[in-house]
Amino acid sequence: MSKDIRPRINAQQMRALDYLRAKERRILVIGDLHEPFCKAGYLQHCIDTYDRFNCNQVLFIGDILDNAFASFHETQAELPAGQDELDFAIAKVQEWYEVFPIATIIVGNHDRIIARKLVRAGVPQKWLKSYNEVLGTPTWDWTERAVFDEVQYVHGEGGSARTKCKNDMMSTVQGHIHTQCYVEYNSGSKIVFSMQTGCGVEREALAMSYAKAFKTQQIACGVVIGGHTAINCLMSL
> So where are the chain's domains?
24-143+198-234
Give the separation between CA 124 and CA 59, rounded to whole angstroms: 30
Strand arrangement, sheet containing 181-187: 145-148, 151-154, 171-174, 191-197, 181-187
pLDDT tens figures, 191-212 = 999 999 999 998 765 555 556 6
pTM of the prediction?
Answer: 0.85
User: Is the pLDDT assigned to residue 88 strictly greater than 50?
Assistant: yes
Topology classification of domain 24-143+198-234: Purple Acid Phosphatase; chain A, domain 2 (3.60.21)
For residues 41 and 3, which has the higher predicted lDDT (pLDDT)?
41
User: Is the pLDDT assigned to residue 33 strictly greater than 90?
Assistant: yes
For residues 217 and 143, which has the higher predicted lDDT (pLDDT)?
143
Dump strand ranges (E) for the chain: 26-30, 57-60, 103-106, 140-143, 145-148, 151-154, 171-174, 181-187, 191-197, 220-225, 229-234
Give the separation between CA 210 and CA 178, rounded to whole angstroms: 13
pLDDT tens figures, 110-150 = 888 888 887 888 888 888 889 999 999 999 999 999 999 99
For residue 154, give the DSSP letter. E
User: Is the pLDDT assigned to residue 1 strictly greater than 50?
Assistant: no
Give the separation between CA 144 and CA 107, rounded to whole angstroms: 5
Question: Is-contact 27 57, C-beta < 8 A?
Answer: yes
The per-residue pLDDT for 11 is 77
